[in-house]
Amino acid sequence: MCDNSDVRDVFNMTEAELSGLQSYQFINLTPDTTFTISGTAVNNLGRGNVATISETTAEEAPQTPYNVEVSDIGTTSFTVTWNIDGPRPGKTNFTVTLIADRPAPRKDFTFTGFTTRSHRAEGLEEYWNYSVSVTASTSVGAKASDPTQEYRTLPAAPGKVSNFDITTAPGGNYTRMQITWNAPTILLQNGVIETYSFFYYISPEQKSGSPTKTFQHQSLENRKYEVYVDVVPEVSYSFEVYATNEDNMTGQTWIKTIEAPAGVPENIEDTMQTKVIPEEKVKNVQQTQITVTFVQEFFEQSKYGQIRATGLVACVENKCETTSMILFLFIYYISLD
C-alpha cells in the first residue's frame, strides 16, 4: 500500500497463511488522502499479475486552533496568527472573526488552506477595540478558539463634526447668526478628541490664520457646541469647524457658506410728522390735504438690509382695509457709495 508520497507498507505471508479469504486492516492513516493498494502472488518463478485499487480516506473534524495572537497593529488593520495540530483533517477552511465593541460591526475573514497560520485583517475602525477568534472547519465539523483579550487599533485624525447647523436671525435679530454642532459620530472620532476650532469670515477669501474661537471637548453624550456671530445682512459668510485629538491630529473640516438674510427695516421712532390743511383753507378743492414729512434716516437706515422701496398707506377712518386705503409707493434707491 502507498499514498501519494510513495510511503509503502509491505505484508509477506506464507502459503498456509494465504489460504482462504484474506483481510487486511490499515490503521493510523492520514485523513482525506488517496491510497493505492496492490496485491500479487509470488512463487519460485517470480511475481504474478498485480491487482490494484485506489481509495480515499474520509475527512475528519479539525483540531481546535490555539495560541491566537495579534501583532503589527495599525490604524485600520492588524495581523492575526495561530497554531493548529495536524495531521491535515481534509479540505480545511479558516475563519478569523473580529468581535468589535458596539456599534461597530463584527468582521469575518474566511480562506482555505490547512498550512495557513496568519492573516492580515484590513478595513477596521480607527482607535477601536476588537477581540479575535479563529475557527477551523471541514465538511465533518468545526472547532473555534476562545476569544482573545481586546486589542485596540491606533488613533487617526477625527472625521467631520455632526449636526453642523446655521440659524439665521435667531430671535428675529438679523445682525446675528447662531452656529451649532455636535462631536463626530462615535465611529468617526478615531481617538480622544481634545478641542474644536471654529472660523468665520466674509466669503470667499477673507479667512484669517487663527480660529475665531476654540472649544474644549466635553465628554457628555449629545453635547451641543454653540456660538453666535455678528453679521451684516445681505453679505455672504463662510463658517468652518473641525476637531483636533490629543495626538494633535487635525480632523476633517466642514465648511458652510450662507448669505445673511435681510430683515424687516428697523422702526425709527418719531421719524414721521404730519400736517393737515383744513378743508376750508383749500380753495375750490373739496378735500383735506395731508402733508407727511420723513427724516432722511428713515430711507437710509440699513441695519437689517438695504432699503429697496418705501410705501405709504393712508387709511380711511383709521381702518387699514383693502377697500378703504390709498397706497402711495415711492421707489427710493440708496447709493452704496
Tell me how far apart the alpha carbons of residues 136 and 144 are, in angstroms, rounded to a whole number: 6
What does DSSP assign to residue 8?
B
CB under 8 Å to 313, separation ≥6 — which residues?
A: 320, 325, 326, 327, 328
Contact 191, 155 (CB under 8 A): yes
Cα 9 to chain centroid distance, Å, stands at 62
DSSP, collapsed to helix, strand or coil, labels residue 207 as: coil
How high is the pLDDT of residue 334? 38
CB under 8 Å to 240, separation ≥6 — which residues?
A: 197, 198, 199, 200, 207, 253, 254, 255
Tell me how far apart the alpha carbons of residues 1 and 25 are, in angstroms, rounded to a whole number: 11
Contact 172, 144 (CB under 8 A): no
Tell me how far apart the alpha carbons of residues 19 and 64 are, in angstroms, rounded to a whole number: 46
Going 259 to 260 to 264 to 268, the CA torsion angle's sign is negative
Nearest CA to 239 out of 192, 204, 286 is that of: 204
How high is the pLDDT of residue 263? 77
Q: Which three cell numbers stand for residue 44?
A: 519460485
How high is the pLDDT of residue 22? 75
Tell me how far apart the alpha carbons of residues 236 and 259 are, in angstroms, rounded to a whole number: 4
Cα 154 to chain centroid distance, Å, stands at 17
Nearest CA to 246 out of 185, 181, 157, 322 is that of: 157
Going 219 to 222 to 223 to 226, the CA torsion angle's sign is positive
CB under 8 Å to 337, separation ≥6 — which residues?
A: none
Q: Which three cell numbers stand for residue 153?
A: 487599533
Tell me how far apart the alpha carbons of residues 177 and 196 are, in angstroms, rounded to a whole number: 19
How high is the pLDDT of residue 212? 87
- pLDDT tens track, the chain, 337 positions: 555 555 566 677 777 777 777 777 777 788 878 888 888 877 788 888 988 998 888 889 999 999 999 999 999 999 999 999 988 899 999 999 999 999 999 999 999 999 999 999 999 999 999 999 999 999 999 999 999 999 999 999 999 999 999 999 999 899 999 999 999 999 999 999 999 999 999 876 677 677 789 999 998 878 999 999 999 998 999 999 999 999 999 999 999 999 999 877 766 655 555 555 555 555 555 555 666 666 666 666 667 777 666 666 666 666 666 554 454 444 444 333 3
